[in-house]
């Protein structure tokens, strides 16, 4: 925590100093009041009363100025601290691998960036203002009481010791509870985010009531945790009041006896009572401060857990590219996601030469996207190696590796702004002519025309675009980079067959001949590829060109026949024999069609 307050050392020193100066002025007030009673009212001196009253006003004005100054410095330090922590958190989160982010969870990251940082900021602000002031006033009041009467001051010492024990016990019980509250808040936030993201699906399946009940259960648990934590922290005020008022009763009784014996004056008893009142006020403040610090400390521990997190993937330092090596090579690769029971990919082995087009096809959950994520090193392999230009991706510096690769993810993501802003993610220095050229290759020229050109507005996540428009703009964004390796992860699923075909022809005609990976559910999208990989349950079950796979890969042939049953050419004799061997009739494709 001190690391992020280091820039605000001056404010962190000035805020408590001005607060302690204000507290020092407060400690003189009971003495002035005692003087007014004993030497002014008691002696019938109106002049003394007026002088001391003027002094009280001066003390009040000086105290107000000191308090406002302290608040200014505390606010500067707290808001600066919060801003720096948010920057550090954001930097940490962007440095984490996909596996780390999956493990941490989106809702947890959002909660730490917002609620937890706000709680920590409030805790720092209150601590700078009151953490030293309240104990200083309490101890100062006790010292001043000893200067008036040592016997009565023993009551102060006893009550301060009792209250310190109460505060410590409540803090020890409350901090774990507040951490539990923040964890449950993450779950509520996660449920809210999931519901908002999947609103259309929820309505389509008429799951509104079920989602409402699930959210209500999570919210009820959050309320229950907050109440339990609140009950414990709420004990602080009544226990404080009871102890202080018992002390006041003892003080008034003891003071009356001492006045009756002539050991104390009436003004001194009033001064002692004022000091006891000051202790009461400060301990009430300290009780509130304790609750705030509990919340802030619980939140800070959660923030610190993220800041202390070590990225699971270290950035490579040096990689030597080999001009004659394959553009991408998988060497018996295995991938197991964190927490998964079985591998997502197993024994993947192939090589893609520069300028080749590699098609990847397979059923849902076969591991197609997982394979694509390993090339730009979004995840690290569990075994084996992935090589780009002959060098292991783990040896490449992240920037150098990903500058070679253009990725069009399975889910098209666009950002609020203009079309120009979104396309320049691929290359911040790209001229408008390059952006328009990339859009034309991606068959998105009509999107530019419909939206008013490159200055057309894009809503958050492309909310004002259709699925096909979003996909074409994300493809254009990747093409702006002119990547050596282009990965199209099922990025034409929302396009019609004719547009998909024109897109593939345009990419094949690119003058700089990138190595293209096309991941698709459509056999038509990858039929012309130089190399086709057929995946099933994380394994390569077929590898070769279209004609070869139709001959020797039943799974590929089944995918092809299911999509072209009405127009597919007759299978070869070997394929018929294989199908008959599997117990299928020769006209099963026609029957299913």
pLDDT confidence of 173, banded at 50, 70, 90? confident
The 10s digit of each residue's pLDDT in 369-405 is 999 999 999 999 999 999 999 899 999 988 889 889 9
For residue 171, give Cα distances in angstroms to 236, 283, 450: 10, 14, 61
| 354 alpha carbon, distance to own chain's centre | 39
Long-range contacts of 284-288 (CB under 8 A, 24+ apart): 284/237, 284/240, 284/241, 285/130, 285/134, 286/130, 286/134, 286/135, 286/138, 286/167, 287/167, 287/236, 287/237, 287/240
What pLDDT score does 80 carry? 93
Q: Please answer whether residues 268 and 38 qualify as being in contact, where contact means their C-beta atoms are separated by less than 8 angstroms.
A: yes
What pLDDT score does 483 carry? 93
Backbone dihedral region for residue 459 (phi beyond 0: left; psi -120 to 50: alpha; all else: beta)? beta
Residue showing tokens 């009356």? 256
At 531, is the secondary structure helix, strand, or coil? strand
What pLDDT score does 138 carry? 81
Interstrand relation of 515-519 and 485-489 (parallel, antiparallel or unpaired) = parallel
Distance in angstroms (rounded) separating the CA atoms of residues 140 and 247: 17
* CA torsion through residues 328, 334, 337, 343, sign: positive
Domain with CATH 3.40.50.300 in the chain: 329-411+483-592, 412-482
Distance in angstroms (rounded) separating the CA atoms of residues 166 and 158: 13
pLDDT confidence of 540, banded at 50, 70, 90? very high
Residue showing tokens 């300028």? 355
**Average pLDDT, integer, range 71-100:** 90
The pLDDT of residue 44 is above 70? yes
The 10s digit of each residue's pLDDT in 193-245 is 788 878 888 888 888 898 899 899 999 999 999 898 888 878 877 887 788 78
Domain with CATH 1.20.1560.10 in the chain: 2-307
Which tokens belong to 189? Answer: 């936030």
Stretch among 112-116, 232-236, 300-304, 522-526 having the lowest mean pLDDT: 232-236
**Average pLDDT, integer, range 294-309:** 86
What fold characterizes domain 412-482? Rossmann fold (3.40.50)
Q: Please answer whether residues 164 and 175 qualify as being in contact, where contact means their C-beta atoms are separated by less than 8 angstroms.
A: no
The pLDDT of residue 494 is above 70? yes
Higher pLDDT, 589 or 301: 301
The pLDDT of residue 549 is above 90? yes
Distance in angstroms (rounded) separating the CA atoms of residues 498 and 560: 18
Residue showing tokens 């002390």? 247
What pLDDT score does 3 carry? 87
DSSP label at residue 453: G
**Average pLDDT, integer, range 161-185:** 81
| 477 alpha carbon, distance to own chain's centre | 26
What pLDDT score does 574 carry? 36
Residue showing tokens 């003087």? 35
What is the enclosing helix (H) or strand (E) of 391? strand 391-392
* N-term to C-term CA, the chain: 67
Arithmetic mean of pLDDT over the chain: 85
- Among residues 111, 145, 154, 134, the alpha carbon closest in space to that of 289 is found at 134
The 10s digit of each residue's pLDDT in 107-116 is 778 888 888 8
Interstrand relation of 405-408 and 485-489 (parallel, antiparallel or unpaired) = parallel
Q: Please answer whether residues 1 and 116 qualify as being in contact, where contact means their C-beta atoms are separated by less than 8 angstroms.
A: no
Which tokens belong to 7? Answer: 């820039």
- Tally of CB atoms within 10 A around 359: 25
Which tokens belong to 246? Answer: 């018992």
The 10s digit of each residue's pLDDT in 318-373 is 777 777 889 999 999 999 988 777 899 999 999 999 999 999 998 888 899 999 99
For residue 322, give Cα distances in angstroms to 77, 244, 391: 53, 80, 7
Which residues make Cβ contacts (< 8 Å) with residue 64, sequence separation at least 6?
Answer: none
Q: Please answer whether residues 271 and 148 qualify as being in contact, where contact means their C-beta atoms are separated by less than 8 angstroms.
A: yes
Distance in angstroms (rounded) separating the CA atoms of residues 389 and 200: 43
What pLDDT score does 363 carry? 85
DSSP label at residue 571: P
The pLDDT of residue 101 is above 70? yes
pLDDT confidence of 265, banded at 50, 70, 90? confident
pTM of the model: 0.67
At 176, is the secondary structure helix, strand, or coil? helix
What pLDDT score does 568 carry? 43
**Average pLDDT, integer, range 464-472:** 90
Q: Please answer whether residues 20 and 133 qualify as being in contact, where contact means their C-beta atoms are separated by less than 8 angstroms.
A: yes
What pLDDT score does 575 carry? 40
Strands (E), 550-591: none
pLDDT confidence of 581, banded at 50, 70, 90? very low
Q: Which CATH superfamily is domain 329-411+483-592 in?
A: P-loop containing nucleotide triphosphate hydrolases (3.40.50.300)
- The half-sphere exposure of 509 on its side-chain side, counting CA atoms within 13 A, is 11
Residue showing tokens 């808040």? 185
Which tokens belong to 232? Answer: 């414990």
In the chain, % of residues over pLDDT 70: 95
The pLDDT of residue 312 is above 80? no
What pLDDT score does 131 carry? 83
Domain at 2-307, CATH from 3.40.50.300, 3.20.20.100, 1.20.1560.10, 1.10.760.10: 1.20.1560.10
pLDDT confidence of 582, banded at 50, 70, 90? very low
Stretch among 82-91, 330-339, 568-577 having the lowest mean pLDDT: 568-577
Phi, psi of 335 (to 5 degrees): -135, 125
For residue 153, give Cα distances in angstroms to 143, 193, 283, 441: 8, 58, 17, 87
pLDDT confidence of 584, banded at 50, 70, 90? very low
What pLDDT score does 579 carry? 41
- Tally of CB atoms within 10 A around 314: 11
């Amino acid at each position: 925590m001190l690391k992020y307050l280091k820039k605000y050392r001056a404010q962190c020193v000035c805020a408590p100093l001005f607060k302690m100066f204000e507290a020092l002025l407060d400690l003189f007030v009971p003495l002035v009041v005692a003087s007014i009673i004993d030497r002014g009212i008691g002696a019938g001196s109106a002049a003394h009363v007026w002088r001391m009253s003027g002094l009280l006003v001066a003390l009040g004005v000086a105290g107000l100025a000191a308090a406002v100054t302290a608040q200014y410095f505390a606010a500067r330090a707290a808001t600066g601290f919060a801003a720096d922590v948010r920057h550090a958190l954001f930097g940490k989160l962007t440095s984490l691998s996909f596996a780390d982010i999956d493990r941490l969870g989106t809702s947890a990251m959002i909660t730490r960036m917002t609620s937890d940082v706000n709680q920590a900021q409030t805790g720092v602000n209150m601590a700078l203002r009151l953490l030293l002031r309240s104990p200083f006033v309490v101890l100062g009041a006790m010292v001043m009481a000893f200067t008036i009467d040592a016997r009565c001051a023993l009551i102060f010492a006893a009550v301060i010791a009792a209250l310190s024990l109460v505060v410590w016990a409540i803090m020890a019980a409350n901090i774990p509870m507040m951490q539990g509250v923040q964890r449950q808040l993450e779950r509520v936030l996660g449920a809210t985010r999931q519901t908002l993201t999947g609103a259309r699906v929820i309505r389509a399946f008429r799951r509104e009531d079920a989602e409402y009940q699930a959210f209500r259960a999570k919210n009820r648990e959050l309320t229950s945790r907050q109440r339990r934590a609140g009950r414990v922290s709420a004990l602080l005020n009544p226990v404080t009041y009871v102890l202080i008022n018992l002390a006041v009763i003892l003080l008034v009784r003891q003071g009356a006896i001492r006045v009756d014996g002539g050991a104390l004056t009436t003004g001194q008893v009033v001064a002692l009572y004022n000091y006891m009142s000051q202790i009461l006020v400060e301990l009430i403040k300290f009780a509130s401060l304790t609750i705030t610090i509990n919340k802030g400390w619980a939140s800070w521990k959660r923030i610190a857990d993220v800041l202390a997190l070590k990225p699971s993937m270290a950035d490579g330092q040096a990689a030597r590219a080999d001009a004659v090596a394959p553009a991408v090579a998988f060497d018996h690769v295995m991938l197991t996601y964190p927490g998964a029971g079985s591998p997502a990919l197993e024994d993947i082995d192939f090589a893609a030469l520069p300028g080749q087009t590699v098609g990847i096809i397979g059923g849902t959950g076969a591991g197609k996207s997982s394979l694509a994520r390993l090339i730009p090193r979004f995840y690290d392999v569990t075994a084996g190696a992935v090589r780009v230009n002959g060098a292991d991706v783990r040896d490449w510096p992240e920037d150098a590796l990903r500058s070679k690769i253009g990725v069009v993810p399975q889910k098209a993501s666009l950002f609020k702004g203009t079309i120009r802003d979104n396309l320049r993610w691929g290359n911040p220095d790209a001229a408008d002519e390059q952006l328009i050229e990339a859009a034309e290759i991606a068959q998105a020229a009509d999107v530019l025309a419909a939206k008013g050109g490159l200055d057309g507005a894009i809503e958050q996540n492309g909310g004002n675009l259709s699925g096909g428009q979003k996909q074409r703009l994300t493809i254009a964004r990747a093409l702006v980079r002119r990547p050596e390796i282009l990965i199209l992860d099922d990025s034409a699923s929302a396009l019609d067959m004719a547009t998909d075909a024109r897109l593939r022809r345009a990419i094949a005609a690119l003058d700089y001949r990138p190595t293209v990976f096309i991941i698709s559910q459509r056999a038509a999208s990858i039929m012309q590829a130089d190399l086709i990989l057929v995946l099933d349950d994380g394994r390569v079950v077929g590898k070769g060109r279209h004609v070869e796979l139709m001959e020797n890969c039943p799974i590929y042939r089944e995918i092809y026949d299911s999509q072209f049953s009405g127009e597919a050419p007759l299978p070869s004799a070997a394929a018929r024999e294989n199908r008959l061997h599997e117990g299928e009739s020769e006209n099963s494709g026609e029957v299913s069609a």
